[in-house]
Amino acid sequence: MKDLLEKDGAMPRLRDKVLMNLTEENALELVAEIVNVYENNAQGKHRLGSFIDKISFDEFKSLLNLDKYLN
């Protein structure tokens, strides 16, 4: 029996933390940036988690402009 959170055999990823303690505004900006990086770099129909696994989490973070959120 499939877990209620499963969709097509995939489970949500909860372990990867990009940044913590962001304001709501900064969190929304970061989500938009993550979507932009994904759209511009993922090939085919990779899920975000598969894309991150393929390039590595460190490489994914390097594609984001995280410095602007650290102030």
Contacts 24+ apart (CB under 8 A), 31-35: 33/64, 33/65, 34/64
69 and 26 Cβ atoms separated by less than 8 Å: yes
pTM, two decimals, is 0.74
Tell me the pLDDT tens digit for each residue of 20-56.
899 999 999 999 999 999 999 998 888 898 999 999 9
In one-letter notation, the amino acid at residue 64 is: L
Is residue 15 very low, low, confident or very high in pLDDT (cuts 50, 70, 90)? confident
